[in-house]
Amino acid sequence: MEEKSSFSLGNSRLMPQEEMLEVGKKKASMSIGIPRESNRHESRVPVTPEAVELLVNNGHQVLIEENAGKEASYLNTDYSECGGTISKREEVFRADVILKVAPLTTEESELLNGNQVVISALHLPGQKESYIRKLIAKRMTAIAYEDIKDKYNSYPVVRSMSEIAGIASVQIAAEHLSNVHDGKGVLLGGITGITPAEVIVLGAGTAGEYATRAALGLGAMVKVFDHSVHRLRKLQNYIGERISTSVFHPRVLQKALRSADVLIGAVHQVDKDSRYFITEEMVMGMKKGSVIVDISIDQGGCVETSECRTHKDPVYTRHGVIHYCVPNIPSRVARTASIALSNVFTPILLEIGEAGGIKQILKEDPGLRRGVYLFNGILTSQHIGKMFGMQSKDLDLLLAAF
């Protein structure tokens, strides 16, 4: 094949021509830090050993703090054999990208070098201004993974954790109906000649859907309540079989609660002034020994008698009704939850590397960009700005400058 020249013959003269140069992305190699979670109620780890192997094979260095995966039944050797580097805590927090499950603590913020990327939960309702200002001072780029959207316009982390919480909530209820946990000794699904237990699910979202699936799978009778007829119809289609559904109406709900054995709360208050969906009076009308699992307790709860508890002390009884009100239910099944998180985070980390760094991927990926609340130490979240009286700037305009 004849080699192309940078010159051509035109009008009997050699004319200079534009030379086409290949323009491509420059792949970046990153160091990724996986610290051990400081929160004693957090058992999950954001990446599995298999994910570490994939990241290392793509040219990245993964620094894992000793025993970071212990609560999820992953040993140090599981990670090291897959190419991960077991490191001291200080070294982990010097990585280019810090990946955590829970938000950074004050002590962890002090360990940061600055000008890094941190991907973790934000948990804004319980967050303090000092947390944001500390990250600003360190010129961090911070991404709240609960706000990340995928190409299907859904929130992948929230959805996967909601699926786990929905299924686990029914398992928890079944445990506390049994005698093992001093329950009244009822089998959720019943048997031939014995009526199955009645389960009420509040909310037809992801958690409500999977709670419904789990309860039906165990043979229970299920009633689902939600504000939206559209969401109830969608749930009916997803489930594929007829279930009892209703929009929220206090009298209808109160009547259903009188015969219910289990109540799964998978909704939260619409605003700060709204009343609880389930009042204390409604709880008083429930059968003795029935069980309430309030999944939405981390958002304030949807039952008036709910109190936020821990995994170490999760259960209490009020008006003869057993209450299980623990935030972060997925930590009960840390291994499954960790794999689910890893399935979301690993492609994101690989894409950051392929794009050549965080700035380029944020320009290309609007879903990941949605989770950013700090960019190079500049607040980009209007909501956080209003919450703490801080000035924020538009992320799209900031990215245009780079």
Active site amino acids:
123, 298
In whole angstroms, give the CA distance from residue 70 to residue 89: 15
Contact (CB, 8 A) for 377 and 137: yes
How many angstroms separate the most distant Cα atoms in the chain? 101
- Per DSSP, the three-state class of 143 is strand
In whole angstroms, give the CA distance from residue 191 to residue 402: 66
Chain-centre distance of CA 22, in angstroms?
A: 40
Q: What angle do CA 185, 188, 191 make, to 5 degrees?
A: 95
- Name residue 64's beta-bridge partners: 34, 86
Residues 6+ apart with CB under 8 A from 294: 265, 301, 302, 303, 306, 323, 324, 325
- Alpha-carbon separation of residue 185 from 220, 272, 324 (angstroms): 15, 38, 17
- Alpha-carbon separation of residue 252 from 255, 257, 258, 301, 309 (angstroms): 5, 9, 10, 21, 29
